[in-house]
Amino acid sequence: MKNYGEITGIRYEGKDSREPFAFKYYNPEEVIAGKTMKEHLKFSMSYWHTIDAEGVDMFGGPSMDKKFGKIDPMEMYRAKADFAFELMDKLGIEYYCFHDADVAPEGRTVRESLENFEVMVDYICGLQKRHNKKLLWATANNFGDKKFMAGAATSCSADVFAVAAAKVKSCIDATIKLGGMGYVFWGGREGYETLLNTDVALELDNMARFLTMARDYGRKNGFTGDFYIEPKPKEPTKHQYDFDAATCLNFLRKYNLTGDFKMNIEANHATLAGHTFQHELRMAAVNDAFGSIDANQGDMLLGWDTDQFPTNVYDTTLCMLEVFKAGGFTNGGLNFDAKTRRPSNTLEDILLAYIAGMDSFALGLRTALKIIEDGRIDAFVDNRYRSYREGIGKKIVEGTTAFEELSDYAMNLTDVSVESGRQEYLETVFNNILFG
């Protein structure tokens, strides 16, 4: 196999190619359903997993070295940034996402860290222009440092709340400077372990105060993109406040934050919440909050966030169907919040992992379109609800009936029956479309 340095760019070679460093299904410039594949999919690189994570887990240290031979922290982060943009070039990825802590070294004080961050944002701004890349979204790492051990916006300490605000403020500034169209809030440690030490009412109110101030700051300073909440049910805390899309939407409604905030749905978080990926996407979409996607997959036998590169074509197909139903991406995209397995520890593995994820989503895009074009599944659903298009059903939908009339109607019914849902049949239709 070639080594990383020899690989200039990953090209589309089609499904019969045996070249590991080539796309089999992702043909970026190919136009399908009115847009290029690149425009449909809007792939993004996650800085934290790709550029920083070195394979550390609970049982062992790094299995990779991403220090690029540097010792001076600022020099190291510049080398990381150079590598990041070179990697995006090789893969033909247009977008990227980062946390403040991914792109700059921590200083000894809050001030020093923010200054390092600002310097690095300028450096990245230059790279972004030279390499013609775009920031999909940024976020603040308000969970890693020990000061965030009891949360950030939901910490018991007002000083920590203020530090979190300072970090989000500078990340919003960076997002504006870099022309980013999204800003993510993943709850990090916003949640709790036990009610014996927790004032849930105050913590939730404070989280809303924090998000409201962030929204106001962003809008005042010219941020016109979307704010996203990324739901996750557990990990690191036992009860994460942003459990799933429905929980987040309820929170946003209670505190009048809908409109500015949409969902960033992560596949692995959906399954941790006991939902399917497509369920979470649909819940977001039907509540006008479909935003962006953290594309990865979990392992159904493991109960944690394994953040694997997505290779399950059923899931990518169902995901892309939801993306189409939601009208496609506007400010959002498909961010690979995914990392190679610890033993896949070479630079080539990073390329191969992205190729796997991008090809799986390209396949998902192609198969989702086949399902839409075939039309059998949509027609089935449409027909299943036809009773709401006539008679009493029409009146229910139009809001022109009431319990008195419904009761009279019901009492005159002699036979009440429901048609079969035909799930197994529909599953074979699905397979038939996918595999011919």
Which residue from 200, 215, 130, 96 is spatially nearest to 165, judged by alpha carbons?
215
Is 102 tagged catalytic?
yes
CB of 375 to Ni ion, least distance (A): 34
Of 84-113, binders to ligand XLS (CB under 6 A) are 99
CB of 44 to ligand XLS, least distance (A): 11
Q: Which is nearer to ligand XLS, 203 or 230 (CB)?
A: 230
Contact between 266 and Ni ion (CB under 5 A)? yes
Write out the two tokens for 146.
Answer: 């020990």
Of 282-301, binders to ligand XLS (CB under 6 A) are 294
Is 99 tagged catalytic?
yes
- Residue type, position 76, single letter: M
Q: Distance (Å, rounded) from C-alpha 164 to C-alpha 185?
A: 12
Contact between 305 and ligand XLS (CB under 6 A)? yes
Answer for which of 226, 337, 352, 430 binds ligand XLS (CB under 6 A) is 337
Q: What share of the chain is helix, strand, coil (3-state, %, to 5)?
A: 50, 15, 40
Pairing mode, if any, of strands 35-36 and 31-32? antiparallel
Q: Distance (Å, rounded) from C-alpha 20 to C-alpha 3?
A: 12
User: How many Å separate Cα 426 from the centre of its chain?
Assistant: 28
Answer for which of 23, 43, 77, 186 binds ligand XLS (CB under 6 A) is 186
DSSP state at residue 387:
G
Of 299-338, binders to Ni ion (CB under 5 A) are 305, 337
- Position closest to ligand XLS via CB: 186
For residue 393, give the 3-state DSSP assignment: helix
Alpha helices in 335-422 (DSSP H): 347-374, 376-384, 391-398, 403-411
Q: How many residues bind ligand XLS (CB under 6 A)?
A: 10
Among Ni ion, ligand XLS, none, what does residue 154 contact (CB within 5–8 Å per kind)? none
Among Ni ion, ligand XLS, none, what does residue 139 contact (CB within 5–8 Å per kind)? ligand XLS
Among Ni ion, ligand XLS, none, what does residue 280 contact (CB within 5–8 Å per kind)? none
**Catalytic residue annotation:** 99, 102
Q: Give the footprint of Ni ion on this chain (CB under 5 A).
A: 266, 294, 305, 337
